[in-house]
Amino acid sequence: MKPVVVLVARLLEKTQALLEAEFDARRLYEAADREAFLREVAPVARALATFGAAGADAALMDRLPRLELIAHFGVGVDAIDLDAARARGIAVTNTPGVLDDCVADTALSLVLNLLRRFPQAERYLREGRWARQGAFPLTTALAGKTMGLLGLGRIGEAIARRAEAFRMRIRYHNRRPKAGVPWPYDPDPVALAQHSDVLVVATPGGPETARLVGAAVLDALGPEGFLVNIARGSVVDEPVLLRYLQERRIAGAGLDVFDNEPNVDPAFFALENAVLYPHVGSASEETRTAMGMLQLENLRAHFAGRALPSRVV
Ligand code: NAP
């Protein structure tokens, strides 16, 4: 008998096809009657496959008392109640490492587009304004500027290495200094923002980092400073950021992540000093495929009694 795996959300097509071939997959996201579905699978469900913001809370874990594993697609596990999983002896896995390059590329493209205003320059040409109004206004260079990494983990380090190739200076803040990195450490986010022209947020989400970037950090970044967030919307105090952008109290922001995705506050759309992406950090065929394979590998390893390749809890 194949182990029963409950799918909280639709997975990547290829991953889902393999998962459904190898396991007894049950689609919670298609259930017309969620309660009836959960009652039916409760005695047999041994794993959950979660995806993006469709994580797992304690209430769902309580409905599935035979659960052994939550296999998440994505590195950020803020949508999963880790304490609840720990307390119930449920293992949690994620998909780290395989997405670092793509997310770091996304961060650098936000930095480039924000400082050099390439999206606006392209619109300018398409609107016929080059011929009518002359050259596009001058912008801000990357070389020689300081990038502050708030969160120098796997992705933060991949961003820093790329920024060095653009001849930017690097500084960082983690809760603890990181061994083996050549860049100066700042003891708190405000000090880092004070020293940065571009502050890039690359911490995990969740309660520990909620609203870490608020008025104090943005004041320290100042009217010439730029903010880039590829982490989670929750790490930034979004209403405060909006106000600071509207009042030009910081120079601009490049954002891949928001509160309440995908329903982004429309006030952002009116801002000329913001570059906005619809959470596409890891969204390439290659990377999403690798993430799906790692999610699957964790499920396979668990049911084969092998060590989990990427265990969080
Ligand atoms: P990671 O390797 O665990 O790195 C996280 C870094 O953040 C660590 O260096 C950690 O250092 C630091 N950190 C944690 N809590 C902190 C705090 N309170 N204050 C300051 N620094 C803190 O994780 P990763 O693989 O680089 O991924 C980072 C995050 O990126 C994910 O959790 C996810 O939310 C986000 N992400 C976004 C996308 C996207 O599509 N935009 C894609 C993938 C991931 P210390 O432990 O020493 O503090």
Catalytic choice (20, 68, 261, 297): 261
232 is catalytic: yes
Whether residue 121 contacts residue 260, with contact meaning beta carbons closer than 8 Å, is answered with no
Residues 172-183 have pLDDT tens digits of 999 999 999 999
Does 279 sit in the ligand 1 pocket, CB within 6 Å?
yes
In 3D space, the residue among 304, 279, 244 whose CA is nearest the CA of residue 99 turns out to be 279
Does 76 sit in the ligand 1 pocket, CB within 6 Å?
yes
Does 281 sit in the ligand 1 pocket, CB within 6 Å?
yes
Q: Tell me how far apart the terminal alpha carbons of the chain are, to the nearest angstrom.
A: 27
Residues 252-288 have pLDDT tens digits of 999 999 999 999 999 999 999 999 999 999 999 999 9
What residue's CA is closest to ligand 1, atom 9?
153
| Dihedral sign computed on CA atoms, order 164, 169, 174, 176 | positive
Residues 216-263 have pLDDT tens digits of 999 999 999 999 999 999 999 999 999 999 999 999 999 999 999 999
Q: Which atom of ligand 1 is nearest to the CA of 156?
A: 26
Instruction: Identify the bridge partners of residue 277 per DSSP, sorted by sequence position.
Output: none
pLDDT for 253: 99
Q: Helices (DSSP H) in 127-224: which residue ranges?
A: 129-133, 154-165, 189-194, 215-221
Query: How far away, in angstroms, is 284 Cα from ligand 1 center?
Result: 20
Catalytic choice (171, 279, 288, 302): 279
What residue's CA is closest to ligand 1, atom 46?
175
Query: How many alpha carbons fall within 13 Å on the CB side of residue 58?
Result: 6
3-state secondary structure of 299: helix
Crossing angle between the packed helical segments 154-165 and 100-116, to the nearest 10 degrees: 50
Do strands 252-255 and 91-93 pair parallel, antiparallel, or not at all (unpaired)?
unpaired
pLDDT for 128: 98
| Dihedral sign computed on CA atoms, order 291, 201, 154, 102 | positive
Compute CA 96 distance to the chain's CA centroid, rounded to the nearest angstrom.
11
What residue's CA is closest to ligand 1, atom 5?
153
Query: How many alpha carbons fall within 13 Å on the CB side of residue 23?
Result: 28
Banded model confidence at residue 95, pLDDT cuts 50, 70, 90: very high
Sheet strand arrangement including 4-7: 24-27, 4-7, 45-51, 69-73, 91-93
Does 254 sit in the ligand 1 pocket, CB within 6 Å?
no
Q: What phi and psi values does residue 114 have, to the nearest 5 degrees?
A: -75, -50
Query: How far away, in angstroms, is 235 Cα from ligand 1 center?
Result: 10
pTM equals 0.98
Whether residue 54 contacts residue 33, with contact meaning beta carbons closer than 8 Å, is answered with no
Backbone angle region of 180, left / alpha / beta, with phi > 0 → left and psi within -120 to 50 → alpha: left
